[in-house]
């Protein structure tokens, strides 16, 4: 939670790169955006951030996630392009866009058991690669005082994780540009001379890191690959795990809970110096299992049933994710030292038993750069998650 952005970026770089080597502005900007809009620890390996000894992708930043890195960040997301090679695992569609309704408190246990029933209906499928596509948007404050306005930056990232040991993990990221958020922000931007780029200072507990430059114009897509840790470690589930480990997970909720808690050490998913309750740790780990890990539908159903036994989880609905899809939010509160009280929202398609996205909302903000209470601090939608037989090639990587 207290790691600064520079450390995030250093850990996100490929192992084969010199950590002191210069990073081009486009790569740095994309890394910052993904790191800052990241939900709590996910589980997918990204080729742009090859696996380290502890396998963790760009957005895996603990329960508080990127919101702890800077209260400047707010994010929403939009749907990304499809994958013509997908052979299994339906797109995370959710209910189509429609007239927004006022969210109400729901019975979390009922919601989770309903999601479990939905997951149980999904057919078991497989393929050569597990493919996940996400779209992220981050809101940043620009300027000071009366001249302050908001901009929104957008990027997409997707990954292909091999089903068999010895394969390569592929990743593709693209920065899609920046623009003022609302009509009021457009007016302020125009008064500022309609700048074509924005310099953002990311606050940390230790000061201010070197600013990132966000351009209005989009960047090129970047495709790259990396070897798996020990040729078979692909995800993080309280520890580094293999595809076989995931296939061997029990679907029974009690056995699944016991299996996961074997790796609980009384501290957070990020650092041993930060105590974390077992239920909070279980939420952080299971969230990744539900959102983007290639477990069987039955194990995902078991995960929902396991979470249904946690009294700390609440439910609110209907809500919309960043892509405008309607779902139900599973809610967990977190009280932080430096950033106030945060509300973590795992948005799910209850009928299908699939995750749509993950939001973090500031309920009781604190800190110099804090957003107003009720602000969405970070969000990520899962546009696609499923098996495919098609992945990028060396030619794709050479072309960007």
**Over its length of 400 residues, how does the chain's per-residue pLDDT go in tens digits?**
333 333 333 333 333 333 334 444 554 555 554 444 444 444 443 333 333 334 444 333 233 333 333 322 333 222 232 333 333 344 555 555 555 578 899 999 999 999 999 999 999 999 999 999 998 888 788 888 888 898 888 899 999 999 999 999 999 999 999 999 899 999 999 999 999 999 887 655 455 566 788 999 999 999 999 999 999 999 988 889 999 999 999 999 999 999 999 999 998 887 788 888 999 999 999 999 999 899 999 999 999 999 999 999 999 999 999 899 999 999 999 888 777 899 999 999 999 999 999 988 889 988 766 777 888 778 899 999 999 999 998 877 776 6
Confidence (pLDDT) at 368: 65
Q: How many residues does the chain have?
A: 400
Shortest CA distance to 132 belongs to which of 97, 92, 95?
Answer: 92
Cβ–Cβ < 8 Å for 257, 237: no
Which strand (E) or helix (H) includes residue 109?
A: helix 108-120
Shortest CA distance to 277 belongs to which of 302, 312, 252?
Answer: 312
Cβ–Cβ < 8 Å for 167, 156: no
Q: Which residues contact 337 (CB under 8 A, 6 or more apart)?
A: none
Task: Report the C-alpha gap between 157 and 152 in whole angstroms.
Answer: 17
Sign of CA dihedral 271, 276, 281, 287: negative
Which strand (E) or helix (H) includes residue 243?
A: helix 243-247
Cβ–Cβ < 8 Å for 338, 2: yes
Task: Report the C-alpha gap between 304 and 297 in whole angstroms.
Answer: 11
What is the C-alpha R_g of the chain? 20
Cβ–Cβ < 8 Å for 353, 300: yes
DSSP 57-97: -TT--TTTGGGGT-TT-B---------TTB-SS-----BPP
Confidence (pLDDT) at 366: 81
Summarize pLDDT for 134-148 with one digit per residue, the tens. 988 887 888 888 888
B/e letters for 141-176, b = 16+ CB within 10 Å, e = fewer, are bbeeeeeebbbbbbbbbbbbbbbeeebbbbbbbbbb
Q: Is 50 helix (H, G, I), strand (E, B) or coil?
A: coil
Task: Report the C-alpha gap between 333 and 183 in whole angstroms.
Answer: 32
Task: Report the C-alpha gap between 138 and 71 in whole angstroms.
Answer: 11
Q: Which residues contact 391 (CB under 8 A, 6 or more apart)?
A: 85, 128, 129, 131, 160, 162, 170
* DSSP assigned state of 18: -
Instruction: State both tokens at 233.
Output: 């470690």
Summarize pLDDT for 10-34 with one digit per residue, the tens. 333 333 333 334 444 554 555 554 4
Strand ranges in the chain using DSSP code E only, listed in sequence order: 104-106, 129-142, 149-162, 168-180, 197-200, 203-204, 207-208, 212-215, 222-227, 233-236, 240-242, 314-320, 326-336, 340-349, 354-364, 376-388
Instruction: State both tokens at 359.
Output: 């939001």
Sign of CA dihedral 392, 232, 87, 97: negative
């Amino acid at each position: 939670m207290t790691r600064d952005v520079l450390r995030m970026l250093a850990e996100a770089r490929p192992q084969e790169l010199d950590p002191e080597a210069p990073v081009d502005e486009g790569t740095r900007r994309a890394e910052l955006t993904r790191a800052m809009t990241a939900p709590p620890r996910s589980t997918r390996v990204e080729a742009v951030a090859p696996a380290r000894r502890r396998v963790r992708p760009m957005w895996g930043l603990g329960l508080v996630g990127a919101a702890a890195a800077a209260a400047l960040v707010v994010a929403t997301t939009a749907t990304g392009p499809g994958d013509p090679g997908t052979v299994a695992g339906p797109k995370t569609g959710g209910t189509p866009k429609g007239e927004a309704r006022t969210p109400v408190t729901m019975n979390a246990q009922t919601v989770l058991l309903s999601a479990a029933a939905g997951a149980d209906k999904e057919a078991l499928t497989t393929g050569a690669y597990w493919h996940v596509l996400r779209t992220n948007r981050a809101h940043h404050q620009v300027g000071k005082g009366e001249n302050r306005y908001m901009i929104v930056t957008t990027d997409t990232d997707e990954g292909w994780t091999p089903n068999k040991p010895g394969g390569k993990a592929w990743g593709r990221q693209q920065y899609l540009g920046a623009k003022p958020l609302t009509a009021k922000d457009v007016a302020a931007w125009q008064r500022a001379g309609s700048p074509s780029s924005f310099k953002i200072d990311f606050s940390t507990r230790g000061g201010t890191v070197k600013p990132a430059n966000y351009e209005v114009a989009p960047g090129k897509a970047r495709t790259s690959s990396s070897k798996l840790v020990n040729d078979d470690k692909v995800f993080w589930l309280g520890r580094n795990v293999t595809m076989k480990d995931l296939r061997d997970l029990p679907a029974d909720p009690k056995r699944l809970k016991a299996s996961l808690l074997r790796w609980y050490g009384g501290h957070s998913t990020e650092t041993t110096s930060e105590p974390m309750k077992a239920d909070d740790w279980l939420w952080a780990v299971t969230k990744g299992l539900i959102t983007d890990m290639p477990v069987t539908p039955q194990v995902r159903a078991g995960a929902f049933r396991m979470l249904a036994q946690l009294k700390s989880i609440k439910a609110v609905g209907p809500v919309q994710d960043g892509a405008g899809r309607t779902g139900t939010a599973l809610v967990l509160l977190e009280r932080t030292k430096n950033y106030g009280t945060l509300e973590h929202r795992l948005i799910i398609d209850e009928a299908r038993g699939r995750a749509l996205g993950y939001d973090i909302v500031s309920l009781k903000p604190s800190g110099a750069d804090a957003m107003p209470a009720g602000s969405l601090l970070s969000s990520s939608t899962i546009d696609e998650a499923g098996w495919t037989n098609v992945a990028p090639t060396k030619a794709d990587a050479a072309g960007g």
